[in-house]
Homo-oligomer: A and B are copies of this chain.
Amino acid sequence: MEKKKRQQVFRDPLYGYIHVDYDLITNLIDTSVFQRLRRIRQLSGVHMVFHAAEHSRFSHALGVYELAYRFLQIDEIYKNLNEREQLLFLVSALLHDIGHGAYSHAFEYVFKVNHESIGAKIITDHIEIRTILDKVDSKFALDVASIILKKGSFPLIEQLISSQLDVDRLDYLERDAYFTGAAYGQIDLDRLMRVVVVRNKKLAFKASGIHAIENYLVARYHMYWQVYYHPTARAYEVILEKIYLRVKDLLKSNYKFNHDVSSLKKILENPEDMNAYLEIDDFYMNGLIAFFLKSEDKILNTLAHDFLNRKIWNIIDDTPENQEHIKEILSKRTDEELKYYTLHTSVNQGAYSETTNNLGDHIFILDNKDELITLSNYSSIVHSLITSSQKSDPKLFYRTNEK
Seen from chain A, the residues whose Cβ lies within 8 Å of a Cβ on chain B are 9-14, 16-17, 30, 32, 35, 38-39, 47, 50-52, 54-56, 58-59, 62, 178-184, 186-188, 190-191, 194, 211-212, 214-215, 218, 221-222, 225-226, 259-260, 279, 282-284, 286-288, 290, 308-310, 380-381, 383-385, 387-389, 391
Contact = CB atoms under 8 A, between A and B. Distances in A.
Contacts of A14: 181
B211 A222 contact: yes
Contact of A51 (B62, B183, B287): B62
Contacts of A211: 184, 222, 225-226
Given A381-B385, A381-B388, A212 B183 contact: yes
Nearest to A310: B35
A16 B190 contact: yes
Contacts of A180: 11, 13
A252 to B, nearest CB: 24
B51 A181 contact: no
Given A283-B283, A384-B384, A384-B385, A215 B10 contact: no
A394 to B, nearest CB: 16
**How many copies of this kind of chain does the complex include?**
4
A215 B212 contact: no
25 contacts: A11-B181, A11-B182, A12-B52, A12-B181, A13-B180, A13-B181, A17-B194, A32-B308, A35-B309, A38-B51, A51-B58, A52-B55, A54-B56, A211-B222, A211-B226, A215-B218, A221-B381, A279-B290, A284-B287, A284-B290, A286-B287, A381-B384, A381-B385, A383-B388, A384-B385
B183 A186 contact: yes
A326 to B, nearest CB: 17
Contacts of A188: 183-184
A65 to B, nearest CB: 12
A73 to B, nearest CB: 10
A179 to B, nearest CB: 7
A123 to B, nearest CB: 19
Contact of A183 (B54, B59, B191, B389): B191
Contacts of A38: 47, 51, 54
Nearest to A15: B181
Contacts of A11: 50-52, 180-182
Contacts of A288: 287
